[in-house]
Amino acid sequence: MTRTAFFISDGTGITAETLGRSLLSQFENIEFNQITKPYIDTLEKAHALVELIESTAERDGVQPIVIDTIVDQTVRNIVAKANAFQIDIFSTFLAPLEDELETHSTYTVGRTHAIGQDDVYMHRIEAVNFALDNDDGARTYQYEEADIILVGVSRCGKTPTSLYLALQFGIRAANYPLTDDDLDDNGSLSLPASLMKHRHKLFGLTIDIRRLTAIRTERRPDSRYCSMDQCMREVEQAEALYRRHGIPFIDTTRFSIEEISTRMMNETGLQRRFSPR
């Protein structure tokens, strides 16, 4: 079964999309055509959106699902006329909260993802810049400033995880690629000197060998880099390195970046950082 789902907002649409995707993911037997429509903040845009929803309902032969965080009541009234199954996130949750808190919400567009406090916003940007500056073993002299250092073989998910930790949690994450020079065939499995003194900050990533082979083949087909034997050797030695030095690690094969980062935060005890150092 296939259904169309709209995530609608008069702001960025991030909240509607995030919560909407989370809800729809619980229905594994249904394939959803997901459409995000941010900044529906004028009457003209609202009417155009209604036409799109109506045409979608006619094409699909079933009502689309509309999940929205529209604050403007005039815009909301227009969208509400569309032939759709509608879930209004704000009214669903804000009304009970207003009763409990005995006060009215400000109903302000974009509060969740606005810049807000400048120091909070700038700290997130600094964390992202740190992750970019310290990607793939660059600037190891800055590791004193890192909250965590991700290690793993090439293409196991270090860079996107570092960036997500920075943007979502304000964590200063560096990452270091384990290469043939680090994964020594003689069995010594020594940590690189640049990592040894920061061993308490290290967190390892590993990955299924077949998955790694597939990812590397897309990047460099028909090369030693993507061969099954090379991938197997690197992954096995990386995991042996983690075990020898007591480095915690996680298999990234079946986890999203969000899950990897959250599990990592939980296991290391790192806390979200939203204040400048």
* Binding site feature residues for ADP: 152-159
Tell me the sheet residues that pair with 23. none
Structure tokens at 173: 């994450």
Tell me the sheet residues that pair with 127. none
Distance CA 50, CA 226 (A): 49
**Which residues are part of a known binding site?**
152-159
Structure tokens at 234: 């690197």
Distance CA 85, CA 113 (A): 26
**Residues 209, 231 contacting (CB under 8 angstroms):** yes
Counting Cβ atoms within 10 Å, is residue 156 exposed (0-12), middle (13-18) or buried (19+)? buried
Structure tokens at 107: 């109903």
Can you say how many angstroms the Cα of residue 143 is from the centroid of all Cα atoms in its chain?
Answer: 24
Can you say how many angstroms the Cα of residue 218 is from the centroid of all Cα atoms in its chain?
Answer: 22
Q: Residue 276: which residues within 8 A CB-CB, separation 6 or more? A: 119, 122, 123, 126
